[in-house]
A and B are shown apart, each in its own frame.
Chain A
Amino acid sequence: MARVGRVRRKSAVTRSLAKIPTGIDGLDEVTFGGLPKGRATLITGGAGSGKTLFGLEFLVQGVEQFGEHGALIAFEESTADLTENVRSLGLDLARHIARKQIAVDYVRLERSEIHETGEYDLEGLFVRLDLAIKSVGAKRVVIDTLEVLFAGLSDYGILRAELRRLFRWLKERGVTAIITAERGHSTNPDALTRHGLEEFVSDCVILLDHRVSDQLTTRRLRIVKYRGSAHGTNEYPFLIDADGIRVLPVTSLGLQHDAPTARVSTGTPQLDEMLGGRGLYRGSTTLISGTAGSGKTTLAAAFVEAACRRGERALYLAFEESPAQIQRNMRSVNIDLQRWVKAGLLHFQASRPTAFGFEAHLSELHRVVQQLHPSVVVLDPVSDLCAMGSSLELKSMLTRAIDYLKSSGVTAFFTSLTEDSGNAASSEVGISSLIDTWILLRNMESNGERNRGLYVLKARGIPHSNQIREFRLSRRGISLMPIYVGSGGVVTGTARQSQEARERAESLQRSQARQRLQRALERKRRALRAQVEALTAAFESDAEELSREIDEAQEEELGLLSDTAMRARMRGARQNASSTASRRGRRGDRS
């Protein structure tokens, strides 16, 4: 009984902090559900960090996704300007205003126009806020940027008292509010807000950052504080693009993607053969790294083409070459990509790596993948992205890209350019651990030629060949040849060909010798057979002779026998007479 009661109380506590989803991609994941309901959240950041847009997105998504109306008090931009500015970001504020779903009140405060004489309060602001809330039945309120008040009015004592009253008032109304503020103080650039607003808004504070490093800007978001709730503590990159704001948490923090067992061809039969005979796992990530001109793009193109042949959709993100150039070049190795582009199965997306930051690239990837649902994706090459930021950032971006692709079940192919001099396997340690299958292409120089070698460095969960194969590109396409390992090392190219010729000659010789021996054997066999036949013939004639003699002898014997018999008969008669006579004689003698 007591136990049940305790459990119940516990669950009541976890439920006590109601949250309201913002509807902003990713933000609700990072905050584990959204902003605290019925409370104010402070969003602070420097100029151009996207505070206003966050607020607007919160309102617009509230209407579009959750049917909650919103009110905006804008201190910085007029309604017309705001509507115009956010239209390019996919937010149709004007329509929501016209439909009475969102109320916008632009509060203009010009210090030069205002003289302060004596006591005042900000009841006018309250009146306007109240009117805006009531006019549309707002559940969500955004005040952007409250700190303009500090610029427009000089009596900070009054301001502070009024702000405290404002937040209390908002709480009493039960509206969920976003208050935006400028970051940085004249004496402390790291201060959360210029005028210490964070002391009034204490439930949730989100810091936006817009920083430039190596000429690239990245926007980041961090939840500084979220009273009564767990939250992601990292800095999360976010993007502002044609679809509004997108926060990019490391998508699956728990590494929970499926592990499909289906296999998919790499498009190069011999390579499939090296990978346990059946190619890659579907949904796995493959890195092809190699030096310049080692054939990375060609392997990737073959992979894409194979996918299209199976009737699957493919996405090719090119960072180095234009789609037309890739298509032209691939035709020279008998890979016709144009055909699949025309068939609508292959989609090229080309952009300069430096065109925008990592996050924008990542967002672009998200967007295109969501739009096209490809089954395979090629990023060619990811190393170009390396050039534009620290490897840590690249790794973080690639981690998220791989995570995202895996959770979408996309089989990905990354190519990466490695330095000729360095050890390829160690130079990419940064991302190698994220990769399931790693195929290394290398140039092998010997005998005045350069030949390509290919080997599988690792292939998670696939029994793979440990062989280095010669990777050849010809007008007929890709082929992987077994390579010879001689006393002088690996033999490739023409050396391999001459080796092959030599081996062919040797084997010819061997076979000729064998044939010679076979013929000798045959001859011997024939001679033997002839001899056997002659002997048999002689034997047969002898045997015939002998048997005839035997017959004659037998006949003779028989003849003799019958003579004897006749004589015996004749002799018998005489014998009888004589015997009677003798008997008589004897009798007579006796008588």
Chain B
Amino acid sequence: MNRSSAIRGKSEPKTWELRLYVAGQTPKCLAAFANLKRLCEEHLAGEYRIEVIDLLKQPQLAQGDQILAIPTLVRKLPEPMKKIIGDLSNTERVLIGLDLRPVD
């Protein structure tokens, strides 16, 4: 599994750039990645890009996005930047955090 590879959807005018910080393949990190992917597929199909950064491999990247908690999801785009920490199991809160209102 290549975690740092970008997963690209269809090119749309509005692209969501998401970055998931993890530290190794802990259950929390794996859960976060799975939850994020499911969520994006449901709400942002084809409009998102996820970059996974493993801090155990690239610790120097933690400083830039002020990462403290693991896992942390950073919404780089669209602005403003948003941070969501945790395994993203609470879908409702993730959607609010990402400013993604669920489509009724």
**Chain A residues in contact with chain B, CB under 8 A?**
105, 107-109, 113-125, 127-128, 130-131, 149, 152-153
Contact status A131-B62, CB under 8 Å: yes
Q: Please, which residues of chain A bring their CB within 8 A of the CB of B68? A: 107, 109, 122, 124-125, 128, 149, 152
Q: Pick the residue among A116, A127, A152 that contacts B59 (CB under 8 A).
A: A127
With A115-B94, A115-B97, A125-B68 already in contact, the answer to whether A120 and B85 are too (CB < 8 A) is yes
Q: Please, which residues of chain B bring their CB within 8 A of the CB of A114? A: 69, 83-85
The residue in chain B whose Cβ has the minimal distance to the Cβ of A162 is B69
With A115-B82, A127-B55, A127-B62 already in contact, the answer to whether A120 and B69 are too (CB < 8 A) is yes
Cα distance A152–B83 in the bound complex, in angstroms: 12
Cα distance A116–B32 in the bound complex, in angstroms: 12
**Chain B residues in contact with chain A, CB under 8 A?**
21, 23, 26, 28, 31-32, 55-56, 59-60, 62-63, 66-72, 81-90, 93-94, 96-97
Q: Could you count the A-B residue pairs with CB atoms below 8 Å apart for me: how many are there?
A: 98
Contact status B70-A113, CB under 8 Å: no
Contact status A123-B93, CB under 8 Å: no
Q: Please, which residues of chain A bring their CB within 8 A of the CB of B86? A: 116-120
Q: Pick the residue among A107, A117, A120 that contacts B70 (CB under 8 A).
A: A120
Q: Please, which residues of chain A bring their CB within 8 A of the CB of B84? A: 114-117
Instruction: Please name 16 further chain A to chain B contacts, defined as beta carbons within 8 Å, in addition to the given A117-B93, A127-B70, sorted by A numbering.
Output: A108-B66, A109-B66, A115-B94, A116-B84, A117-B85, A117-B90, A117-B97, A118-B32, A119-B86, A120-B71, A120-B86, A122-B68, A123-B55, A127-B23, A128-B62, A131-B59
Q: Pick the residue among A115, A118, A130 that contacts B87 (CB under 8 A).
A: A118
Contact status B62-A121, CB under 8 Å: no
Contact status A107-B66, CB under 8 Å: yes
Cα distance A124–B54 in the bound complex, in angstroms: 10
Cα distance A115–B88 in the bound complex, in angstroms: 10
Contact status A118-B82, CB under 8 Å: no
Cα distance A164–B68 in the bound complex, in angstroms: 16
Cα distance A61–B56 in the bound complex, in angstroms: 32
The residue in chain A whose Cβ has the minimal distance to the Cβ of B27 is A119
Contact status A124-B93, CB under 8 Å: no
Q: Pick the residue among B70, B89, B93 that contacts A121 (CB under 8 A).
A: B70
With A115-B96, A117-B90 already in contact, the answer to whether A124 and B82 are too (CB < 8 A) is no
Of A108, A109, A120, A125, the most chain B CB neighbours within 10 A belong to A120
Cα distance A131–B52 in the bound complex, in angstroms: 20
Contact status B97-A121, CB under 8 Å: no
Q: Pick the residue among B70, B88, B89 that contacts A122 (CB under 8 A).
A: B70
Q: Please, which residues of chain A bring their CB within 8 A of the CB of B72? A: 120, 124
A376 to chain B, nearest CB (A): 56
Contact status B88-A117, CB under 8 Å: yes
A415 to chain B, nearest CB (A): 58
The residue in chain A whose Cβ has the minimal distance to the Cβ of B22 is A123
A179 to chain B, nearest CB (A): 16
A107 to chain B, nearest CB (A): 6
Q: Please, which residues of chain B bring their CB within 8 A of the CB of A124? A: 21, 23, 55, 62, 67-70, 72
Q: Please, which residues of chain A bring their CB within 8 A of the CB of B31? A: 118-119
Q: Please, which residues of chain A bring their CB within 8 A of the CB of B59? A: 127-128, 130-131
- Cross-chain pairs A/B with CB under 8 angstroms, 19 sampled: A107-B68, A113-B81, A114-B69, A115-B85, A116-B85, A116-B93, A117-B93, A118-B88, A118-B90, A119-B28, A119-B86, A120-B70, A120-B85, A121-B28, A124-B62, A127-B55, A131-B59, A131-B60, A149-B68
Cα distance A128–B56 in the bound complex, in angstroms: 10
Q: Please, which residues of chain A bring their CB within 8 A of the CB of B97? A: 115, 117
The residue in chain A whose Cβ has the minimal distance to the Cβ of B74 is A113
Q: Which 10 A-B pairs rank lowest in CB-CB distance, beginning with the nearest? A: A115-B97, A118-B89, A118-B86, A123-B70, A118-B87, A124-B67, A123-B23, A117-B90, A117-B93, A117-B86
Cα distance A105–B72 in the bound complex, in angstroms: 18
Contact status B21-A117, CB under 8 Å: no
Cα distance A113–B21 in the bound complex, in angstroms: 16
Cα distance A426–B69 in the bound complex, in angstroms: 66
Of B31, B59, B69, the most chain A CB neighbours within 10 A belong to B69
A283 to chain B, nearest CB (A): 56
The residue in chain B whose Cβ has the minimal distance to the Cβ of A121 is B70
Q: Please, which residues of chain A bring their CB within 8 A of the CB of B96? A: 115
Cα distance A26–B68 in the bound complex, in angstroms: 36
Of A117, A127, A128, the most chain B CB neighbours within 10 A belong to A117
Cα distance A120–B93 in the bound complex, in angstroms: 14
Cα distance A561–B69 in the bound complex, in angstroms: 168
A84 to chain B, nearest CB (A): 20
Cα distance A127–B72 in the bound complex, in angstroms: 13
Q: Pick the residue among B28, B56, B81 that contacts A120 (CB under 8 A).
A: B28
Q: Please, which residues of chain A bring their CB within 8 A of the CB of B85? A: 114-117, 120, 153
Cα distance A152–B87 in the bound complex, in angstroms: 18
A111 to chain B, nearest CB (A): 10
Cα distance A116–B59 in the bound complex, in angstroms: 22
Cα distance A152–B82 in the bound complex, in angstroms: 15
Q: Please, which residues of chain B bring their CB within 8 A of the CB of A105? A: 63
Q: Pick the residue among B26, B56, B94 that contacts A117 (CB under 8 A).
A: B94
B73 to chain A, nearest CB (A): 9
The residue in chain B whose Cβ has the minimal distance to the Cβ of A125 is B68
A122 to chain B, nearest CB (A): 6
With A124-B69, A127-B23 already in contact, the answer to whether A119 and B87 are too (CB < 8 A) is yes
Cα distance A109–B85 in the bound complex, in angstroms: 12
Q: Please, which residues of chain B bring their CB within 8 A of the CB of A152? A: 68
With A120-B71, A125-B68, A127-B59 already in contact, the answer to whether A113 and B82 are too (CB < 8 A) is yes
The residue in chain B whose Cβ has the minimal distance to the Cβ of A152 is B68
Cα distance A149–B66 in the bound complex, in angstroms: 13
